[in-house]
């Protein structure tokens, strides 16, 4: 399959990249980080970006979210510029580190973006309380980050990213620092949120099983410079739970993704 895909039943994709390249200047020479990346992401689609460290996965997220400009190529969000999408507050961002403010409680950390985007003041508390409840943290709203486990902090981070109800969620290896049990729990909670709200999600990972478990499609990237080499459809039912990891279909999908990834890292 080509890296580009027409979106059936829609006049335009949610996110569209065309021949996007990024070059950094380092020690007097140009270093390509991302080269000729083209990809369409449909409304409500869950897309995982899979590849080795340094292949440009995070750079691609920053380009989409208007945190960084491409050196060449174009990026559009619903037919408009990424800057316009950012002004519309279309993006929610979840990083590998929770990056919570240590002097604010969990509830106050979730509320912070609502203060910035001028969310109705009389609705902020109820919105944040509901989000913490959704993430299983209803009893920890008044706890400070130093009093929370790593998994709890990341739950707060996800709740914060969802606070103003963005339509696009950009996630940069959000579960990579967590233990396996906590990671699996958060994957299930993320799927529950996605299935309920149908947000468009771009999810960066280097974990093959995680990509297969979560995504509709897996974008396999090569290293140095980052290129989109394969786009794999995940042919698994969408009502996914832990038991699917033991099925032959899941194992075969993981194997296909591993082979595609090995094909890129061997060059």
pLDDT tens-place string over residues 83-132: 999 999 999 999 888 899 999 999 999 999 999 887 899 999 999 999 99
> Is cis: bond before 225, omega within 30 of 0?
yes
Task: State the chain's mean pLDDT as an integer.
Answer: 90
The answer to whether residues 52 and 204 touch, using CB atoms and an 8 Å cutoff, is: no
Question: CA 231, CA 253: separation in Å to the nearest integer?
Answer: 13
What is each CA distance from 265 to 221, 223, 239, in whole angstroms? 9, 7, 32
Domain regions of the chain by residue span: 1-90+168-174+185-239, 97-165
**β-pair type (80-81, 72-77):** antiparallel
Residue with the bigger pLDDT between 30 and 97: it is 97
Tell me the two tokens of residue 192.
């529950």
Neighbours of 184 (CB within 10 A): 17
CATH assignment of 1-90+168-174+185-239?
Answer: 3.40.50.300
- The dihedral built from the CA positions of residue 15, 263, 55 and 51, taken in this order, carries a sign that is positive
For 147, half-sphere exposure in the C-beta direction (CA atoms, 13 angstrom radius) is: 11
What percentage of the chain carries pLDDT values higher than 70? 94
Name the E strands within 90-246. Answer: 91-94, 168-172, 200-205, 217-222, 227-233
Q: Which of these, 33, 41, 44, lies nearest to 200 by C-alpha position?
A: 44
Question: What are the tens digits of pLDDT across the range 153-184?
Answer: 999 999 999 999 999 999 999 998 889 999 99
Q: What is the pTM of this model?
A: 0.90
Q: Which of these, 173, 158, 241, 157, lies nearest to 205 by C-alpha position?
A: 173
Tell me the two tokens of residue 107.
């509830």
DSSP letter, residue 2: -
User: CB under 8 Å to 122, separation ≥6 — which residues?
Assistant: none
């Amino acid at each position: 399959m080509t890296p580009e895909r027409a979106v059936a039943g829609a006049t335009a994709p949610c996110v569209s990249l065309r021949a996007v390249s990024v070059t950094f200047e380092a020690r007097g020479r140009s270093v390509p980080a991302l080269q000729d990346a083209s990809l369409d992401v449909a409304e409500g689609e869950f897309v995982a970006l899979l590849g080795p460290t340094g292949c440009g996965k995070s750079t691609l997220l920053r380009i989409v979210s208007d945190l960084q400009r491409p050196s060449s190529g174009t990026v559009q969000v619903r037919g408009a510029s990424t800057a316009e999408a950012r002004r519309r507050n279309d993006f929610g961002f979840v990083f590998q580190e929770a990056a919570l403010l240590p002097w604010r409680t969990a509830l106050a950390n979730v509320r912070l973006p609502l203060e910035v985007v001028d969310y109705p003041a009389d609705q902020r508390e109820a919105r944040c309380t509901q989000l913490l409840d959704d993430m299983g943290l209803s009893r920890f709203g008044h706890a400070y980050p130093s009093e929370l486990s790593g998994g709890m902090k990341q739950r707060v981070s996800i709740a914060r990213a969802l606070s103003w109800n963005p339509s696009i969620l950009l996630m940069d290896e959000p579960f990579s620092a967590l233990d396996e049990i906590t990671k699996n729990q958060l994957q299930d909670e993320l799927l529950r949120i996605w299935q309920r709200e149908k947000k468009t999600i771009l999810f960066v990972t280097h974990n093959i099983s995680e990509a297969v478990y979560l995504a509709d499609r897996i974008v396999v990237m090569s290293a140095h410079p980052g290129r989109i080499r394969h786009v794999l459809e995940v042919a698994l039912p969408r009502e996914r739970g832990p038991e699917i990891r033991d099925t032959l279909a899941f194992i075969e999908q993981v194997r296909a993704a591993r082979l595609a990834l090995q094909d890129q890292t061997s060059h």
